[in-house]
């Protein structure tokens, strides 16, 4: 795996990718799928990365719950202790000196306000400094997160946060037009507002029918359209954001289960 990760990093760097946003599966101290992260953290290739806390349950092939999303009062301290070694790495992705930490599913966290407060407090206690915490927009809207007044920003998660009726192929309920999601990505209200940042995200070909009953397939994908979308996104963030926050997410690098890989 070490050689594989090395090649993945070399491939990403050779095409101008700044870093990876890596899912961190963490359940009250238990972690899974973290071997690639461990290797990336130790790499000597000057390649950047950040974490997104993937706090959804993990199911087995028979839909049994392998890891549940349980939360305890001491979880904030355990969590920060576990990720400290990543956050203090000089290659960890930051904005204005603050490590960016994403949270995938804020709806599943009880006592959310207290949890976010404790994460920030523990980061200060463990000499990490101030965190820049962002929420995924899956199932939420920007104003809903912003009005909580506990997050520094959010990030798009296409197609799941940008699917609208106008991009559906009327012949098939589960089929969508890739070309028409462009307007939803570009026109989504993502301008900086009172220090609240929303990072835009581009998407590749997408087909989750192999793993989900709620299947969604995007037709008419092409590398040319993906390229055009990136050009428009770059133009948009250069206009709206200062350099420390000029990031674009791409969904995603190597999710073969959803037929989306860069």
**Domain parsing of the chain, residue ranges:** 1-155, 160-262
Residue 165 has pLDDT above 70, yes or no: no
| pLDDT value, residue 106 | 92
Asked whether 191 and 245 are in contact (CB, 8 A), the reply is: no
Give the closest residue to 247 by CA, choosing from 14, 6, 20: 20
Residue 213 pLDDT grade (very low, low, confident, very high; cuts 50, 70, 90): confident
Name the pTM for this structure. Answer: 0.87
Half-sphere exposure of 88 (CA within 13 A, CB side): 12
Mean pLDDT, the chain, rounded, equals 83
pLDDT category at 135 given cuts 50, 70, 90 is: very high
pLDDT of residue 127: 96
> pLDDT tens digits, residue range 39-90?
888 877 789 999 999 887 666 555 555 556 666 655 888 899 999 999 999 9
Of residues 154 and 219, more confidence is placed in: 154
Give the C-alpha distances (Å, rounded to integers) separating 62 from 59, 65, 94, 206, 215: 8, 9, 40, 24, 18
Least confident window among 26-40, 91-105, 182-196: 182-196
What pLDDT score does 138 carry?
83
What's the pLDDT score for residue 167?
A: 54
At residue 114 the predicted structure's pLDDT band, cuts being 50, 70 and 90, is: very high
Please give the residue that has the higher pLDDT: either 114 or 184.
Answer: 114
Helix (H) or strand (E) holding 114: helix 112-125
Kindly give the interhelix angle for 75-87 and 112-125, rounded to the nearest 10 degrees: 50
Q: How far apart are CA 185 and CA 193, in angstroms?
A: 18
pLDDT greater than 70 at residue 223? yes
Cα–Cα distance measured from residue 48 to residue 92, given in angstroms and rounded to the nearest whole number = 6
Burial class of residue 94, CB neighbours in 10 A (0-12, 13-18, 19+): middle
Q: Which helix or strand (DSSP H or E) is residue 4 part of?
A: helix 2-14
- Looking at per-residue pLDDT, the higher value among 34 and 120 belongs to 120
Name the nearest CA neighbour of 75 among 26, 124, 148.
26
| Strands in 33-170 per DSSP E | 48-53, 58-59, 65-67, 94-95, 98-103, 132-136, 153-155
pLDDT in tens, 10-29: 999 999 899 999 999 887 77
């Amino acid at each position: 795996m070490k050689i594989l990760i090395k090649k993945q990093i070399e491939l990403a760097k050779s095409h101008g990718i700044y870093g990876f946003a890596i899912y961190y599966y963490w359940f009250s101290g238990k972690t899974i799928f973290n071997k690639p992260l461990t290797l990336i953290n130790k790499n000597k290739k000057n390649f950047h990365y950040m974490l997104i806390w993937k706090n959804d349950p993990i199911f087995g092939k028979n839909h049994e719950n392998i890891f549940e999303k349980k939360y305890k009062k001491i979880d904030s301290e355990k969590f920060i202790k576990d990720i400290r070694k990543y956050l203090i790495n000089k290659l960890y992705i930051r904005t204005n000196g603050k490590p960016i930490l994403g949270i995938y599913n804020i709806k599943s966290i009880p006592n959310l306000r207290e949890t976010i407060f404790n994460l920030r407090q523990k980061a200060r206690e463990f000499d990490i400094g101030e965190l820049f915490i962002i929420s995924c927009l899956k199932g939420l809207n920007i104003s809903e997160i912003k009005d909580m007044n506990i997050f520094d920003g959010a990030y798009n998660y296409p197609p799941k946060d940008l699917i609208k009726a106008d991009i559906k192929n009327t012949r098939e309920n589960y089929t969508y037009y890739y070309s028409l999601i462009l307007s939803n990505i570009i026109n989504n209200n993502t301008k900086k507002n009172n220090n609240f940042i929303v990072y835009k995200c581009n998407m590749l070909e997408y087909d989750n029918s192999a793993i989900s009953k709620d299947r969604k397939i995007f037709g008419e994908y092409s590398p040319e359209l993906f390229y055009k979308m990136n050009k428009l996104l770059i133009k948009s963030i250069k206009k709206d954001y200062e350099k420390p926050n000029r990031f674009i997410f791409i969904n995603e690098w190597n999710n073969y289960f959803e037929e989306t890989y860069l």
